[in-house]
Amino acid sequence: MSEKINIAIIIKSTGKNYRILTEDGEYLDATLKGKMRTHGLRTTNPVAVGDKVKYSIQEDGKLMITDLIPRKNHIIRKSINLSKETHIVAANVDQALLIVTPDKPPTSFGFIDRFLVAAESYNIPTTIVINKIDLPGTEERIADLMMTYEMIGYPVILTSALKDKNTDKIKDLLKDKVTVLAGHSGVGKSSLINKIEPDLFLKTSEISAYHQKGKHTTTFAEMFPLSMGGFIIDTPGIKGYGIIGLDKNELALYFPEMADKLPECKFYNCTHINEPKCAVKKAIEEGEIPESRYKSYLNIFNEDQDKSYR
């Protein structure tokens, strides 16, 4: 008779200590096997929230995570302490909600585009949620954000957690899906979820009037079950998402509006920078591709791309 294989999902990670959800619906604490590593990926964390893992029960009754079940996808950020390594934010997600704000704090096009490239590179569909639409004097910025991303095919939802506007649309989107929530600190991730699922009581914070930035209310990524089915993964406010390992000559493939134009370029390996008869540059001149997207593309392209850490 073969020994039962115990399988669980990582719900919370705090160093080597983990909270897991078993197949029987139990929430338990577990530790990581000492020498466990992720093959082929240099990261500071071998397992992450959303990972499916195998675990064993020790003689003293404690649980030990022994193996990682292969992921369908993951999303990363650059490690805070080790610039040439990555930290896995979440794994096995169905979709991402990127929460942005026109002000208090303002979200830059550069930050949004870096996240979208990271999500595209791991096949994670993203919806952009523009929160705090009730802030006075932000109408032009909101319209600019909305037009930019709807033009290139990303779904955009306008919300106000404060006034409970359009939170029902987010609720419908979350149903029966594993969703990672991302965005700067202070954009209202926790406030929005508290409107949708009040029993979670996620911590919220005020915005610094001087720095126009939020205080970090989420220290570690954590996965929460939803009453309507599905899970949300609340992530710390992250300054920059890692796109380590992307070949700069393939970068345009992760800008969908540029990838669509590539067959029209004179050269099959066009980088859309100096080549003649480039369909992407023509589309920018004619207003089909937003200039802000091309600026983000150039900024990322010109960075030092380290190809060994994908």
Region of 123 on the Ramachandran plot (φ > 0 left; ψ -120 to 50 alpha; else beta): left
- Asked if residue 229 and residue 89 are part of one domain, the reply reads yes
pLDDT in tens, 182-228: 998 889 888 898 888 888 766 554 443 333 444 444 457 889 999 99
Mark whether 258 and 190 lie in a shared domain: no
Average pLDDT score over residue span 280-293: 96
- Which range of residues forms the domain containing residue 44? 6-70
Are residues 253 and 293 part of one domain? yes
Question: Is 161 part of a structural domain of the chain?
Answer: yes
Instruction: Provide the domain count of the chain.
Output: 3
* Lowest mean pLDDT across 3-7, 37-41, 46-50, 120-124: 37-41
Report the pLDDT averaged over residues 138-159. Answer: 97
Using 50, 70 and 90 to split pLDDT, how confident is the model at 243? low
Look at residue 241 and tell me if it is in a domain.
Answer: no
Q: Residue 168 pLDDT > 90, yes or no?
A: yes
**Residue 243, domain member (yes or no):** no
Q: Are residues 57 and 88 in the same domain?
A: no
The whole-model pTM stands at 0.85
Q: Detail the DSSP E strand segments found in 120-254.
A: 126-130, 156-158, 177-182, 222-225, 230-234
Both 275 and 130 in a single domain? no
Q: Residues 136, 181: one domain?
A: yes
